[in-house]
Structure formats: structure tokens, C-alpha cells
Amino acid sequence: MWGLNLPIVLALAAIGGVLAWRRAHTLVWLLYTGGALWAFFRFGFAVPIPQSVVTIYLGITVLALVSYASSSRERLAETVQPIQRLILEPRYRLALAGLLVALPGLAAYNAYADLTMPLEAPGFGREIHPPPPTELTVHDETIDMATAENPYLHYKHDDPELYGKHVENGRRVYYENCFWCHGDGMGGDGMFAHGLNPVPSNFNDVGTLPALQSSFVHWRIAKGGPGMPAGGTPWDSAMPAWEKFLTTEEMWDVNLFIYDFNGYEPRALGQH
């Protein structure tokens, strides 16, 4: 709901509820608020927030908590009192010792976590489905991208037997050429997929095939990574330009097959 990670949010709210019910001490509240906000920013969203933004938010949180605790003499005294007791009273000596070990430990862990974080290149915004050209020429045959359809799609209703033949041919082409990267089940998880960036398309995804016209898919199959327009840069897709290896018919067949296999229909003309 609203892109939130509900179990986490509810759990945090529940802890807050318990604290309110038990009338927790100011210091406990401050620690809870800081911790809960950290957990919320870090895990509370279905799509994680970028680390840089989390840092900004946590900085503001810390600033706000410190200024709350110190914004009146009484509140400051109340907040600091348990800490003073922890340090001064003999019966908390064990807890104090534990804390004195834990704090540097925490810092050490933080340093360790920072250093062992896998190195990552900074990201560039890139279009996943860049705009296609208006016309496409494959094997000396020019089609209008806006109106072209898979020439064998209409057999699905007119001649199911012939349609089946084309799908079968598409299956052969797919498992001879495509499944290495796009996977047995077309999940974009073939045996070579982990070595590729950008990763191969996942054809099971409802956002991919059904959202594209079959002419778009044909364009991508025929022209591959080398035919990617400049608008999609930096783009280093490893997909070959299949027009150099396959006939036009084979390409339309595999196009038919991947739709048929996943049970999707290409996006209709003019449909948005």
C-alpha cells in the first residue's frame, strides 16, 4: 500500500504504541524515534530509498532529536539523568562496561560494513524502452513501425494449424539462439544472464511484452544492441543484431512464440 513495506511500518508503530502505553522515559523515546526512523527509511519502502537520501534524512533526524532534548533545562536534565546514573551508580557497573565495549564495537562494525560494501559504479539514468524509429528496414524490406504487425498473428484465428507451425518454428529458433540469455522460462535468467549489464529482458513481466507492439519487438530482435538509438545511451546491451543470422520469417516466428509462450497479446495499434 502506497509503496510502503507494511509489516515493517506496522511493527514500528506497534513498538511506539507499547512505549506510549508504558509511558516511556524521554531518553527511551528519543532512542526509539531515531532507531524507528532509521528502520523506516531503510526498510519501510517497497522500493528502497537511495542511500544518499537516507543519509540526508537521518542527519535531519539526529539534528531534530538533539535540539529537542536540549531545548529546555528541565528536558535536558531529564534526558541526561539515566545516562548519569548509568555512569555513576556502582550497580550499573556491568552495564556500563558492556556499553564501553559495545560502542567502539559498533563503530568498528560500521567501518567494517563500509569497507566491505561491494564497489558499485555510479548510476546513469537510462531509458529502458527507447523510442523506436518511424520506419524499419530489415533485409531490404521496409515496414512502417506505427502500423506494422506480426504477419502471422492473424493465423491464430484464421488458421490455427498454420499458426501452430509458426509457433513451433519460433520455439526451435528460441531454444537454438535466445534461451542462453533470456532463459528456459523466459525470465531473463539464462545461463549467461548474470554476466550482462543491462540484464536480458524478462518476458514474463507484465510491463514488457504486453506494453510493446510486436513491431517494436521485431525492431529489437532485428537490430539488437548495435541498433539502439543514441537516446538510450549509455547503452551497452549485448544483444546481437539477429537480422544477420536469421531470416525475416524466423524472426517473426520467434516473436510469435514468445508472446504465445507467455500467453500475452501484443499491444494493439493506437492503444495506450
Residues that bind another protein (CB under 8 A): 2-3, 45, 47-53, 56-57, 60-61, 63-64, 67-68, 70-76, 120-125, 127-128, 130-131, 133-135, 146, 197, 230-231
Query: 82-91: which pairs have CB atoms within 8 A and are 24 or more residues apart?
Result: 82/25, 82/27, 83/27
Q: How far is the CB of 72 from another protein (least distance, A)?
A: 6
Q: Which is nearer to another protein, 4 or 191 (CB)?
A: 4
Q: How far is the CB of 25 from another protein (least distance, A)?
A: 15
Q: How far is the CB of 148 from another protein (least distance, A)?
A: 15
Question: CB atoms < 10 A from the CB of 43, how many?
Answer: 15
* 248-262 and 160-173 helices, crossing angle to 10°: 100
Q: How far is the CB of 235 from another protein (least distance, A)?
A: 13
Which amino acid is it at 189?
Answer: D
Q: How far is the CB of 272 from another protein (least distance, A)?
A: 11
Alpha-carbon span 206 to 263, nearest angstrom: 10
Q: Which is nearer to another protein, 98 or 226 (CB)?
A: 226
- Cβ-in-10-Å burial (0-12, 13-18, 19+) of 31 comes to middle
Q: How far is the CB of 127 from another protein (least distance, A)?
A: 5
Residues 6+ apart with CB under 8 A from 269: 146, 147, 149, 213
Grid cell 513451433 — which residue?
A: 168
Q: Which is nearer to another protein, 61 or 248 (CB)?
A: 61
Instruction: Give strand pairing partners of 4.
Output: 45
Alpha-carbon span 225 to 239, nearest angstrom: 5
Q: Which is nearer to another protein, 58 or 249 (CB)?
A: 58
Q: Which is nearer to another protein, 22 or 272 (CB)?
A: 272
Q: How far is the CB of 168 from another protein (least distance, A)?
A: 35
Q: Which is nearer to another protein, 37 or 173 (CB)?
A: 37
Nearest Cα neighbor of 31 from 59, 65, 54, 8 is 65
For residue 234, what is its C-alpha cell?
549509455
Residues 6+ apart with CB under 8 A from 150: 214, 218, 252, 255, 256, 266
Q: Which is nearer to another protein, 120 or 161 (CB)?
A: 120
